[in-house]
């Protein structure tokens, strides 16, 4: 880790620069090793300056939004982790176009839209994470995907600012065309007009249904596996008898078998072992290779 780069970042970036930081503080699973740098920009300009410096010096970077849908290995991340939670401006226009900085949470966007009489995202109630992360993975639920209402995405790769139209984004099931060397900075959504009270009712109903069927109160990262074509991941996991299965303090949730929860003392290695065990059992029974929805990064401990 370069002390010179640390000083340069602190002098140039509008935000905070920390070194040797435990990433378990920044992931919803509450696991993960340490990062060489943790950068928390206060502005898009500060984010871009940080990315420019990291690219020029060849330092790898990892962007973390809400920390969901992410598993950081116990050996941590050799490079810079950029947290986006201070970049959360939401601008709702009179025509229903909503421009959102990437660090705003999906919940914040839904609630602010409903209050202003704009809807279309109620089906996504209860999905954790930020707009930036939800855009990259094309987050969805109940047949609705965020990509459907995205009109434009602004990106920065350390050298160039880019604007991608909806068609350029290449949205598909839990996927998009964004590359790992580019960072989503701002997303423009097109919402639909609605009566606030009705939108609020739909949102609360969806949120209650999700809380009824998903594990709350224990650290998790959301759905672990993608649904294979024509199949449902949790049903296959349940069918092979893995509801409640454990590796250390990592457990397949008894409430929803596509979630792995941290019972308190799990390590990333425990979660990884449970993921691989699940994949092998499902492959042996159904001849289907489950693909992880969660992003796995970092080094082994």
Alpha-carbon gap, residue 47 to 87, rounded angstroms: 9
291 annotated active-site: no
Q: Which member of 174, 202, 243, 255 is catalytic? A: 174
User: Is 249 in contact with 265 (CB distance < 8 Å)?
Assistant: yes
The SS3 assignment for 81 reads: strand
Q: Which member of 176, 182, 223, 253 is catalytic? A: 223
Q: Which two tokens stand for residue 1?
A: 């880790």
Alpha-carbon gap, residue 288 to 74, rounded angstroms: 28
User: Is 259 in contact with 215 (CB distance < 8 Å)?
Assistant: yes
Q: Which member of 48, 122, 145, 293 is catalytic? A: 293
Three-class DSSP labels, 130-191: EHHHHHHHCCEECCEEHHHHEEEEEEECCCCEEEEECHHHCCECCECCCCCCCEEEEEEEEC
- Containing 186, the helix (H) or strand (E) segment is strand 183-190
145 annotated active-site: no
Alpha-carbon gap, residue 230 to 221, rounded angstroms: 24
Q: Which two tokens stand for residue 41?
A: 């920009």
Alpha-carbon gap, residue 85 to 105, rounded angstroms: 8
206 annotated active-site: no
Token pair 């609360």 is at which residue? 204
Measured in whole angstroms, the distance separating CA 169 from the mean position of its chain's CA atoms is: 17
Catalytic residues: 174, 223, 293
């Amino acid at each position: 880790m370069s002390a010179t780069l640390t000083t340069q970042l602190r002098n140039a970036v509008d935000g905070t620069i920390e070194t040797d930081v435990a990433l378990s503080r920044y992931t919803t699973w509450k696991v993960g090793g340490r990062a060489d740098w943790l950068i928390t920009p206060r502005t898009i300009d500060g984010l871009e300056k940080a990315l420019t410096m990291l690219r020029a010096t060849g330092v790898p970077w990892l962007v973390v939004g809400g920390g969901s849908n992410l598993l950081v290995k116990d050996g941590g991340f050799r490079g810079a982790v950029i947290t986006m939670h201070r970049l959360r401006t939401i601008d709702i226009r009179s025509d229903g176009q909503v421009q959102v900085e990437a660090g705003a949470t999906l919940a914040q966007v839904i609630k602010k839209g409903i209050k202003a009489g704009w809807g279309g995202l109620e089906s996504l109630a209860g999905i954790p994470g930020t707009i930036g992360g939800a855009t990259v993975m094309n987050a969805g639920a109940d047949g609705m995907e965020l990509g459907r209402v995205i009109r434009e995405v602004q990106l920065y790769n350390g050298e160039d600012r880019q604007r991608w139209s909806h068609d350029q984004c290449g949205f598909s099931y839990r996927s998009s065309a964004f590359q790992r060397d580019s960072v989503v900075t701002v997303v423009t959504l097109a919402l639909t007009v609605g009566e606030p009270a009705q939108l609020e009712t739909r949102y609360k109903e969806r949120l209650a249904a999700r809380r009824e069927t998903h594990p709350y109160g224990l650290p998790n990262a959301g759905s672990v596996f993608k649904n294979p074509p024509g199949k449902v991941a949790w049903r296959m996991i349940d069918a092979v008898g893995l509801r409640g299965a454990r590796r250390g303090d990592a457990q397949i949730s008894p409430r929803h078998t596509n979630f792995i929860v941290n019972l308190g003392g799990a390590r990333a290695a425990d979660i990884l072992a449970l993921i691989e065990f699940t994949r092998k059992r499902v492959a042996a029974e159904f001849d289907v290779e489950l693909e992880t929805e969660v992003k796995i990064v970092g080094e082994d401990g």
